[in-house]
Structure formats: C-alpha cells, structure tokens
Amino acid sequence: MNRRSFIKAGVAGLAMSSLPALAAEAGAKKRVGVIGPGWYGKCDLLRLIQVAPVEVVSLCDVDAKMLAEAADIVASRQASKRRPRTYGDYREMLKEKDLDIVLVDTPDHWHALPMIAAAASGADVWVQKPISVDVVEGQAMVAAARKHGRVVQVGTQRRSTPHLIEARDRFIRTGKLGTIGHVEICCYWHMRARDNPPDTAPPAHLDYDMWTGPAPLRPYNRMVHPGSWRAFMEYGNGIMGDMCIHMYDMVRWMLDLGWPKRVSSAGGIFIDKQSRANTTDTQIATFEHDGFNVVWQHRTWGREPDPNYPWSATFYGDKGTLKASVFAYDFQEQGKSETVHGDVVYELEEYPEDKTEPRLEKHCAPAIRGHMRDFLAAIASRGRPVADIEQGFTSTAACILANLSQKLGRTLAYDPAKGIVPGDDEANALLARPYRQPWVHPEPESV
C-alpha cells in the first residue's frame, strides 16, 4: 500500500466510523457561541462551519472593534447569512442558556472561568490550550465537565493531524521503532516578543479591565492586545504553555502516556534582556516516564539543530528514529540510510476558503477540522473526545509544573490523585495563583 492509499484508507475508516454520529448532528443544527473570536477563535469557528451545519448565534469579546469584524465574517460564511448577537461580557451571553456548543478562544488567563460557566449553562465546550494558567484551575475545569456531564474538547489538535496519525500508526503502533528509550521535543522559533514600547491608555474600543479579568492589572501596553500577551507570565505560561504543551501532548497521545512521575526544568532570560517580555528565552524541561524521559528545549535565539524540524518531536528507539512536526515526518530504520518521508495533508481544493482566509495556518486547517469532527462525534455519542479535558489537564499541568520547577530550582513529583506535590508546601502554594477581585478562583469542590 503506498502512502496516498494509506492516507485515504485511514481517513475513510475514520469517516465511516463517525458517519452515524455526524448524520445525527446534521439534523440537529447545533447553536454555537464563541468567547474570544480573535485570530484563533475565528480559525477554530470557521473550521467548525466547514464541517457541520451549525448556526453561530452569539459572539462575545471585550474588544468591540474585533467583535464587530468577527460578526461580519461569520455572517458571510455561515449558511443562514445571519449576523450573530454580540456581547461584551460572556456571563450575559451564557445567561440566555440557548447554546449547544461554546468555543472558548480567549487568552489563557481567561480559559477557566468561561469554560466552567459554559459547562454549567448546559453547553458542550471547546477550550483552547493550555486549559489553564495554574494547576487548580485545571482541576476545577475537569470537575465541572464531569459534574455537568459535558463533552469538553481541548484545542490540542495534533491528536487529529492526518499525517501524524499516519506516522503513529505506521511506525509506533507497528513496533518499527523498537524499544523507545528517549524522546526529544523542541521549539527554536524566534517567537518571543522583542519590543519595549511605552505604556499608554487603552484604546476606546477595548474594555481593558474586563480583558485583564482575574489577572494582575498591569498598565496597558500595545504588546498585550492584540497579539503579544503571551510575552507576559501574568496571562499565560510562556513558551512552555504555548508550544511545549502541543509537542508534549502529541507525545503522550502517540505513546499512550499518563502523568509524568517527576518534572524538572531550568532556564531563564539569557540573551534577550532588552525586551519588556518576562518569559524565558531559553528553557529545558524533563518529564520522567517509566523507561524513558521526554525532554523539552526552547530557545528563541540562535540557530536550530535541524532547520527542517524547528518545532517537533524526535522518538529514539533501538530499531529506528522518527521525527515528527506539524509539517512532516521522517522515519529512519537503524543501520539504514534511506528515509521514509511524509508531508502535511492540505485540503485546499476541498475547502477553497482556506486559500484566502486571512492569517489562517493552512497546514493546521485539516487538523482543526478533524478535531471538530471528533468533537461532534463525541457530542452525539456523549463519549470522550480524543482531547478530552482530562487529557488537556495532564499536559497543561505538566508544563505548569515545569515552570514551577524552574522557579523553585528543584524537581517536582506531583500526585494527581491528591492534587499536590507531597512534602513540598512551597510548591503547593503556587498551584493556584491569586485572583484579582472581584473574580473568585474556582475550586474543584465548588464548581
């Protein structure tokens, strides 16, 4: 079987397995709301519109200009051509209790409270990764999904990336790697913000107090919105929470891994000391699993070791090596020079909107569509999606623990059953960040 036949057979099998569920969904026409229809909010939502006959009825954003633009785009893309209702406060949107699906595509510091509120309102939820900024938020999100019986899909769409599914099935599940003894994951893109602009008054169309929400209220800076809020640990988990979670979650999915036994990390701001950003420009983290470690490294300066795989995972087995990224994979059998190569599967002819959609990562579009189909099938069956909230919590919390390890200067052994790092009161005090009033930090017992 050649590669193209392999892909077609695999995709056909997946499609056939979910046809009854998707047929049921077609008759239901789910009502959808989006909290945070900015860049990736629109990327996610417009992929959902491509694969299901949904009706987008509500959009919410604290930026009135961005909100109006999103409403216009949605009206032009959905079948009904209706313009969604718009809100500046997600609580007002959810009060309507008329949504079947809610997409939470806000900055990271605003993932937990809207996701929990959406689940309580009776909606099934798509929430972007990382699911939370602290560990206790994640615990509460899992508890809310289970308490209200909601399907929650996390936006770790590597689990639905066609060529990565192929690589897993061809080389890992068949045992062609042999015994895996080490995995390296990395990001060497120069993606850390390098600017240092002055603070200013926020623009009139932005409710900056609501944008800040439970995070510390910093003076407004144009780096924060729109775009570079990831430069600040107040709103996220740096490159660990942005890029490592994708690769680490991909490895966990491919190898069927649970929680790491121990997490350690070291790094800092070693080169770019002029930027206003307070996230690390260099960091290494080790996630210890039975039989091997998964080791992450990011560096936002200098050259990458392999220019073909600057953001990737490399699986080292005693019979072969597999490199995998969002763009491609390469497998090489031990002792042989030839390489089996595979590329990302684009779907530009099937979905011509992808060709012209502003800022769409075209290589990610098929993965998002696959992730949405999986989400819809889980909604129909009331089962667990491929990136269930509990899987997202594990990958998110591991990356947060890496940052805490770097901050504390020691290895952390988190006990997921107890929700603590046994014997480490200092680490446990950092598992929940302070919330700015009047926002109240969610707890697993109170959702």
Residue 131 shares a structural domain with residue 180 = no
Same domain, 103 and 198: no
State yes or no: pLDDT of 14 exceeds 60: no
State residue 227's pLDDT score. 80
244 and 281 both lie in a single domain: yes
> pLDDT averaged over the chain?
94
Tell me the pLDDT band of 270, cut-offs 50, 70 and 90. Answer: very high
Average pLDDT over residues 169-187: 98
Cβ–Cβ contacts within 10 Å for residue 362, how many?
14
Query: pLDDT confidence of 7, banded at 50, 70, 90?
Result: very low
Is residue 397, in this structure, part of any structural domain at all? yes
Token pair of 136, please? Answer: 């206790």
* pLDDT tens per residue across span 197-229: 999 999 999 999 999 999 999 999 999 998 899
Residues 269 and 322 in one domain: yes
Instruction: Tell me which of 13 and 67 has the higher pLDDT.
Output: 67
Q: Is residue 396 situated within a structural domain?
A: yes
Say what the pLDDT of residue 195 is: 87
For residue 141, which of 169, 116, 158 has the smallest C-alpha distance? 116
What pairing do the DSSP bridges indicate for beta strands 101-104 and 31-35? parallel
In a domain, 407, yes or no: yes
- How would residue 25 be classed by pLDDT, with cut points 50, 70 and 90? very low
Separation between Cα atoms, residue 308 and residue 328, nearest integer Å: 9
Residue 80: which domain range? 3-158
User: Can you read off the two tokens belonging to residue 171?
Assistant: 């080389």
Does some domain include residue 215? yes
Are both 148 and 190 inside the same structural domain? Answer: no
Domain with residue 14: its CATH number is 3.40.50.720
Identify whether the C-beta of residue 176 lies closer than 8 Å to the C-beta of residue 170.
yes
Same domain, 152 and 126: yes
Residues in contact with 58: Cβ distance below 8 Å, sequence separation at least 6, in sequence order: 32, 33, 34, 84, 85, 86, 87, 93, 96, 99
Q: What is the pLDDT of residues 32-45, one digit of tens each?
A: 999 999 999 999 99
Q: Is residue 360 part of a domain?
A: no
**Are both 134 and 181 inside the same structural domain?**
no
- Peptide bond before 107: cis, by omega within 30 degrees of 0? no
Q: Are residues 137 and 276 in the same domain?
A: no
Please check the confidence at residue 8 and state whether its pLDDT lies above 60: no
Instruction: Give the rounded percent of residues in the chain with a pLDDT score beyond 70.
Output: 94
- Both tokens of 125, joined, read 């939820």
Residue 15: the pLDDT is: 41
Q: Say if 445 falls within a structural domain.
A: no
pLDDT of residue 28: 65
Sign of CA dihedral 89, 228, 153, 131: negative
Pairing of strands 152-154, 180-187: unpaired
Tell me which of 106, 131, 158 is where a domain ends: 158
For residue 195, give the nearest of 222, 234, 160 by alpha carbon.
222
- 277: buried, middle or exposed (CB in 10 Å: 19+, 13-18, 0-12)? buried
pLDDT band for position 17 (cuts 50, 70, 90): very low
Has residue 98 been placed in a domain? Answer: yes
Whether residue 209 sits in one domain with residue 152: no
Residue 317 pLDDT greater than 90, yes or no: yes
148 and 292 both lie in a single domain:
no
Residues 126 and 258 in one domain: no
Model confidence band, residue 183 (pLDDT cutoffs 50, 70, 90): very high
Judged against a pLDDT cut of 60, whether residue 11 lies above it is answered with no
44 belongs to a structural domain = yes
Q: Are residues 263 and 405 in the same domain?
A: yes
**What mean pLDDT do residues 414-434 have?**
98
Return the CATH number at 184: 3.30.360.10
Task: Tell me the backbone φ, ψ of residue 127, rounded to 5 degrees.
Answer: -125, 135
How many domains does the chain divide into?
2
What would the pLDDT profile of 362-402 be if each residue is shown by its tens digit? 999 999 999 999 999 999 999 999 999 999 999 999 999 99
Give the pLDDT band (50/70/90) at residue 9: very low
pLDDT above 90 for 442: yes
Range among 20-24, 259-263, 334-338 with highest mean pLDDT value:
259-263
